[in-house]
Amino acid sequence: MLTTTDLTVEKINSLLKTAEEFAQGNTLKAADEIYVSNLFFEDSTRTKTSFDIAQRRLGLNVVPFDVTSSSVNKGESLYDTVRTLESLGINLAVIRHGKDKYYEELKDVKLALINGGDGSGNHPTQTILDLMTIHQEFGKFKGLKVGIVGDVKHSRVANSNAEALRKMGAKVYFSGPEKWFDEGTIINGTYLPIDDLVKEVDVLMLLRIQHERHGEKMKISLESYHKKFGLTLDREKAMKKEAIIMHPAPINRGVEIADELVESVRSRIFKQMENGVYARMAILKEALEEKGFKFK
């Protein structure tokens, strides 16, 4: 599973069903001796650990791969690194890489590949866990209104989720600093000012302000961002009765969202993380079954 485009409606429904069964306590273990490795060329706690735990729950052998001490430092290409792991007997690799569509140079490898995030492109496993969290809440996607707030253009979460949500029948709205919405950004939704958007949506997805990336670009302070575009205590009060709050984390408390709202009744932020393990178990199982491995 490499791109959000790979996620057809049938595929999404099938993964959500399997993931929900894991959430309900279903356990499955690999019938074969399967070796997997997680190659994270960008920092991550949640996604990497989530995959790691999902893999152990399925009885897979997780072989550590430390980017900082790998031969990538000696200039080895991603293709040669992955071909090497394949030759050593790794059956599946999860890869996160800063380069958009890094997976295009890997089309000749034979092991199973799962995209753990590429540049500003795709993040399909985050999409599945986000859809799962929404589906647990509302039991449907059709007719739901989902608002995504932040740097939509540079966010692989935003891009992946908006595309999948539209496919499933939801209506997507965006908000955030207008200058972040250049021509061409708004493909899968409609821009709304934040104060209108919070009143309109059933699901409010906040994106992380990647202040370590923005540098010059972000000319407003974090406090100012919070007041102008963040989920303040006042804006939360304007939300619909049943509406929920989501965030892919890590959170900048007091920036995208008021500190007090992170663990409030509407928040599904830690629930998303919990669902992430089940969603990834489903994704791993399907990817390995496609390669002929069995579970019992």
Site of interaction with a second copy (CB under 8 A): 33, 35, 37, 40, 43-46, 48-50, 52-53, 56-57, 61, 63-77, 80-81, 83-90, 212, 249-253, 270-271, 273-274, 276-277
Q: Toward a second copy, which CB reaches closer, 31 or 88?
A: 88
Q: Toward a second copy, which CB reaches closer, 195 or 270?
A: 270
DSSP string, the chain: ---GGG--HHHHHHHHHHHHHHHTT----BSS--EEEEEESS--SHHHHHHHHHHHHTT-EE----GGGSGGGGT--HHHHHHHHHHTT--EEEEEESSTTGGGGGTT--SEEEEEEETTS--HHHHHHHHHHHHHHHS--TT-EEEEES-GGG-HHHHHHHHHHHHTT-EEEEES-GGGS-TT--SSSEE--HHHHHHH-SEEEEPP--HHHHGGG--S-HHHHHHHHSB-HHHHHTS-TT-EEE--S---BTTTB-GGGTTSTTB-HHHHHHHHHHHHHHHHHHHHHHTT--B-
Q: Toward a second copy, which CB reaches closer, 44 or 136?
A: 44
User: Which residues participate in the annotated binding site?
Assistant: 46-47, 74, 96, 123, 126, 156, 208, 249-250
CB of 214 to a second copy, least distance (A): 13
CB of 229 to a second copy, least distance (A): 19
CB of 35 to a second copy, least distance (A): 6
Q: Toward a second copy, which CB reaches closer, 37 or 188?
A: 37
CB of 90 to a second copy, least distance (A): 8
